[in-house]
Chain A
Amino acid sequence: MENDIGLWSVLIAVLGGAIRVGTPFIFVSLGECLTEKAGRINLGLEGNLIMGAMTGYAVSYLSGSPWLGVLAAGSSGCVLGILHALLCQNKQVNDIAVGIAMMLFATGIAFFYGKAFIQPSAPHLPSIGFGNWSSSPVIKAALDINVLFFLGVALAPAMAWFLRTTRWGNAVRVVGESSDAALSLGMNINRVRLLSTMAGGGLAGIGGSYLSLYYPGSWSEGLSSGQGLMAVALVIFARWNPMNCLYASLLFGGAAALGPALQSVGINWGYYLFNAAPYVLTLVIMIAASSAKGTVRGMPGEFVK
């Protein structure tokens, strides 16, 4: 019987983890999804995430308002996105290489300016206690959900709708599918990509502020440890579909929670394996999604060329 309770709590921990750990994935993957829909890859979102985490924490600490921190984090992400877009629109510039350079640049800047903010405790983002109906502290904790999570969840269908039905969304898709077609329609390709990369970068920045201002809730240099890069891989798994990005992010969040949850109920074999679950999942997905015959379904046409 006691074992049953243990396993139930693992399930609850994984569910709670999907929400807690998955939220930054939602923002970064949606940001990358939008960028890639416009035909450009931004590998630098890991840098945006770290920069957003640092900026958000610093502004929240200095101003006393965590929401101002979120705003600043988003803005810092936008600036990095614009920089990436401006660099990439020059002829013969490889967006992958620029992305890696931007990632290193943003990480370095964030570490440099973040020195002063490792120690202080900044005000956190509030959360809503959806579990207050329950007497169990376990459920209460798992359902203590941050507002940014709902923003992320709402953003996914909104982005799907935006891409499917609005004129701007169509512009993004045309530019991503075929720059020739976009040119013949008289579109300004660079402007569409600039705006998409900017918005995508901004979303990743907001994802960063969730890390430093809510969970785990403090700025440190090991905070991201590659989550931004995993989110980029996740977009391919999600087949460039915003709704799938949401589901995949939750799956990754849950996978990250699995290792600690199992150890805490005393299942202690193979914890290195469980801790590696998100990374193993990334690899498996990449292998499963690859195809020797043709392009992956849903891939923006501009990447095929």
Chain B
Amino acid sequence: MKQKSQLSLSRRKFVKTASIAAAGLSMALKTPLALAAAKVKMGFVYVGPRDDYGYNQAHFEGKAALAALDWVKAVDEENVPETIEVQKTMESMIQLDGAQVLFPTSFGYFDPHILKIAKRYPDTTFLHCGGLWDAEKHPKNVGSYFGYIDEPVYISGIVAGHMSKSKKLGFIAAIPIPQVLRNINNFTMAARSIDPSITTTVVFTGGWSDPVKEAEAANSLVDQGIDVLTCHVDSPKVVVETAEKRGIYSCGYHTNNAVLAPKGFLTGAEWSWATVYKNYAELIKNKQPIPNLVRGGLKDGIVKVSPYGAVVSDAAKADADKALASFMDGSMVVYKGPIKDNKGNTVIPKGKSYLQTDTWLESMDWLVEGVVG
């Protein structure tokens, strides 16, 4: 009873006090924001931890590179689930940190979360990592950026094709979405360009982060005689470490995984988001329009190949460097017919070819000949 009497503010009085306080607070907040307006403010949201050797770390490294630019202020938040949580995070970055541009990096953030918040904040730019922006359907202050990570994966495939003795490669994948299937196909076609008898066995774990299943998949694949392993999951750490433990070769993904497998590491596909994020920062600083779609591969510096491991043979290096050079000068066409899928149907007829930039490739739903899975 005593406690209640202490709190017995009348409702009217409470509203009055609260609104005065709120007005004061918002004024107090506005002043420092206005003073610091010269800085470009960017916000980054990751679905997982920013030091997982994987997707999130790659984005974090990109964000960290912005620290070199003293006219940029970058904030970030990790472990934000693909739920209403990400909406709250985005709103607080806009309202409290004054973010002009947001980079919610996970696939599942886009629909409905970014779309919903973007309508509410038309002055803020939302750039999503992935390939989902559509000019006809989606707001103008939203855009997407992505890199052709399948290009360095192709290089990994060439090295894997050279180094494999059993002619059986393994690929541990999370979920069969187009980006994942494209990586599997590039890896397989590259290896088969070295030796057409090579096959790639795929295990889908059904989730982006499931370490026990990834380890189990790696062990099962090694038991089947596979001697080069790579993956497309959120964090390649478990897969690469298990491969090393079982004494086989591995190709990394997302970031440089060489330290995880000092003996068996061959090479890997890495993101290089620093380039992308610096470019966006420059555009905002110079008040230039921000393109809604940004794509790029090896030659644009958005993705890169991990340095070759010590065991990689000279022949493998030579072929890999040759492919790298043709990616760099733009002459490489991976999807050149005739290409069959692993059920024997011709998906790309003879004479037809798809360039890297072709959006048809972003809706891939087939696995190439030579893939088991």
Interface residues of A (CB under 8 A from B): 6, 9, 12-13, 16-17, 20-21, 111, 115, 118-119, 121, 137-138, 141-142, 211, 215-218, 220-223, 225, 227, 256-257, 259-261, 263-266, 268, 271-272, 275-276
Residues of A within 8 A of B213 (CB): 256, 259-260, 275
Other than the given A13-B219, A17-B216, 13 more pairs (CB < 8 A) read A9-B220, A215-B212, A216-B211, A217-B238, A220-B52, A225-B211, A257-B220, A260-B213, A261-B216, A263-B217, A263-B373, A264-B203, A264-B221
Chain A: CB-nearest residue to B259: A121
A276 and B237 CA atoms in complex are apart in Å by 23
Chain B: minimal CB distance from A210 (Å) = 11
A118 and B209 CA atoms in complex are apart in Å by 13
Contact across chains for A264 and B215 when beta carbons are under 8 A apart: no
Chain B: CB-nearest residue to A276: B206
Interface residues of B (CB under 8 A from A): 48-49, 51-53, 79, 170, 201-207, 209-217, 219-224, 226, 234-235, 237-238, 241-242, 245-246, 259-260, 372-373
Chain B: minimal CB distance from A24 (Å) = 9
Residues of B within 8 A of A13 (CB): 216, 219-220, 223
Contact across chains for A264 and B51 when beta carbons are under 8 A apart: no
Residues of B within 8 A of A265 (CB): 224
Residues of A within 8 A of B242 (CB): 216-217
Contact across chains for B241 and A121 when beta carbons are under 8 A apart: yes
A256 and B245 CA atoms in complex are apart in Å by 21
Sample of 9 A–B contacts (CB below 8 Å): A119-B51, A137-B222, A218-B241, A221-B48, A227-B212, A256-B216, A260-B205, A264-B221, A271-B203
A112 and B203 CA atoms in complex are apart in Å by 32
Chain B: minimal CB distance from A132 (Å) = 15
Contact across chains for A225 and B210 when beta carbons are under 8 A apart: yes
- Give 5 closest A-B pairs by Cβ, nearest first: A222-B209, A216-B215, A264-B220, A260-B217, A263-B203
Contact across chains for B204 and A263 when beta carbons are under 8 A apart: yes
Contact across chains for B51 and A268 when beta carbons are under 8 A apart: no
A124 and B214 CA atoms in complex are apart in Å by 18
Chain A: minimal CB distance from B264 (Å) = 15
Chain A: minimal CB distance from B51 (Å) = 5
Residues of B within 8 A of A256 (CB): 212-213, 216
A216 and B223 CA atoms in complex are apart in Å by 16
Contact across chains for A220 and B211 when beta carbons are under 8 A apart: yes
Chain B: minimal CB distance from A197 (Å) = 26
Contact across chains for A118 and B223 when beta carbons are under 8 A apart: no
A121 and B238 CA atoms in complex are apart in Å by 11
Chain B: minimal CB distance from A167 (Å) = 39
Inter-chain contact total with CB atoms closer than 8 Å: 127
Chain A: CB-nearest residue to B246: A141
Chain A: minimal CB distance from B168 (Å) = 10
A259 and B214 CA atoms in complex are apart in Å by 11
Contact across chains for B235 and A216 when beta carbons are under 8 A apart: no
Q: A218-B238, A256-B216, A272-B206 are in contact. Are A266 and B222 (CB under 8 A)?
A: no
Chain B: CB-nearest residue to A16: B219
Contact across chains for A264 and B217 when beta carbons are under 8 A apart: yes
Chain B: minimal CB distance from A119 (Å) = 5
A107 and B242 CA atoms in complex are apart in Å by 25
Chain A: CB-nearest residue to B213: A260
A289 and B99 CA atoms in complex are apart in Å by 55
Residues of B within 8 A of A9 (CB): 220, 223-224
Chain A: CB-nearest residue to B199: A266
Residues of B within 8 A of A221 (CB): 48-49, 79, 209
Contact for A141 among B219, B235, B241, CB less than 8 A? B219
Contact across chains for B206 and A275 when beta carbons are under 8 A apart: yes
Chain A: minimal CB distance from B305 (Å) = 22
A265 and B222 CA atoms in complex are apart in Å by 11
Chain A: CB-nearest residue to B172: A260
Contact across chains for B204 and A141 when beta carbons are under 8 A apart: no
Q: A13-B219, A13-B220, A217-B238 are in contact. Are A118 and B52 (CB under 8 A)?
A: yes
Chain A: CB-nearest residue to B235: A220
Chain B: CB-nearest residue to A273: B206
Contact for B223 among A12, A20, A215, A275, CB less than 8 A? A12
Contact across chains for A115 and B241 when beta carbons are under 8 A apart: no
Residues of B within 8 A of A141 (CB): 219, 222-223, 246
Contact across chains for B49 and A118 when beta carbons are under 8 A apart: yes
A276 and B212 CA atoms in complex are apart in Å by 13
Residues of B within 8 A of A272 (CB): 206
Chain B: CB-nearest residue to A223: B211
Residues of A within 8 A of B204 (CB): 263, 271
A194 and B49 CA atoms in complex are apart in Å by 35
Chain A: minimal CB distance from B343 (Å) = 12
A256 and B206 CA atoms in complex are apart in Å by 13
A221 and B211 CA atoms in complex are apart in Å by 9
Residues of B within 8 A of A266 (CB): 201, 372-373
Residues of A within 8 A of B203 (CB): 260, 263-264, 271
A276 and B201 CA atoms in complex are apart in Å by 21
Chain B: minimal CB distance from A224 (Å) = 9
Residues of B within 8 A of A118 (CB): 49, 51-52
Residues of B within 8 A of A223 (CB): 211-212
A264 and B220 CA atoms in complex are apart in Å by 6
Chain B: CB-nearest residue to A216: B215
Contact across chains for B223 and A264 when beta carbons are under 8 A apart: yes
Chain B: minimal CB distance from A101 (Å) = 20
Residues of A within 8 A of B53 (CB): 119
